[in-house]
Amino acid sequence: MKDFSILEKKYGLEFNNKDLLIQAFVHRSYLNENPDFHLKHNERLEFLGDAVLELVISEHLYNQYPGKAEGELTNWRAALVNAKMLAQIAQELELNEFLLLSRGETKEMGKARQYILANTFESLIGATYLDLGYDACKDFINKYLVVKLPDIIENGLFKDAKSQFQEEAQEKIGVTPIYNVLKEWGPDHAKHFIIGVFLGKELVAEGKGSSKQEAEESAAKNALEAKGW
């Protein structure tokens, strides 16, 4: 078993119920290989942590930016609590070292691992809330996640690629991008799309995804790179 006391000391989280801390790191796949393990997987903690995270971030934004409209605060919050950002924080905190995974999942280091890390960060928040209370969660989230906010605001990282590409296109050449499906395949429950983003008749870039929204976002990202915007 991994030594979770290292994690507690490193981040000042002294749990009363050590099992609750360990459970935050138990992935469903681990229990498939270790059915006799004494704890359940972390998905219920993740559910709770997600809500606590949203509340702490919302409260911070509400108090710190009284002059900002709801729409802008929503965009900033989304940039802080999206899976990519949470996975990045989880990596910085080296939560990867404590994951309890199946042998197969241990070898998987791509997008699936990022997703697991983001979920584990939320699970840790959920466990911290249950064991140490709201204020401990608030301190932890402010220390490791909210500190990213000034950079997000300053560099416009809260804007998704589609919004960014539209702003740049309208500002630079006075044209609104159009997205068209170039190809789609697969059954309804597992569709794949290739979508092209056009400026007038010019096909600027293509993007692929398992939903139209994902493919459009990918196309916009590629278009920003293609145009050097």
Q: Give the residue carrying structure tokens 């605060």.
A: 73
Query: What is the spatial distance between Cα 133 and Cα 138, in angstroms, rounded to a whole number?
Result: 9
- What number of other Cβ atoms are within 10 A of residue 11's Cβ? 15
Residues 6+ apart with CB under 8 A from 139: none
14, 46, 94, 122: which is the annotated catalytic residue? 122
Contact 10, 98 (CB under 8 A): no
33, 43, 46, 50: which is the annotated catalytic residue? 50
Q: Residue ranges of the alpha helices (H) in 83-190?
A: 83-92, 103-107, 111-132, 134-144, 149-154, 161-173
Buried b (16+ CB within 10 A) or exposed e, 144-171: ebbebbeebeeeebbebbbebbbebbee
Q: Nearest 5°: CA angle at 151, between 150 and 152?
A: 90
Active site residue 122: yes
Query: What is the spatial distance between Cα 79 and Cα 23, in angstroms, rounded to a whole number?
Result: 27
Active site residue 171: no
Query: What is the spatial distance between Cα 188 and Cα 183, in angstroms, rounded to a whole number?
Result: 14
Query: What is the spatial distance between Cα 123 and Cα 99, in angstroms, rounded to a whole number?
Result: 11
Query: What is the spatial distance between Cα 85 and Cα 87, in angstroms, rounded to a whole number?
Result: 5
Residues with a known catalytic role: 50, 122
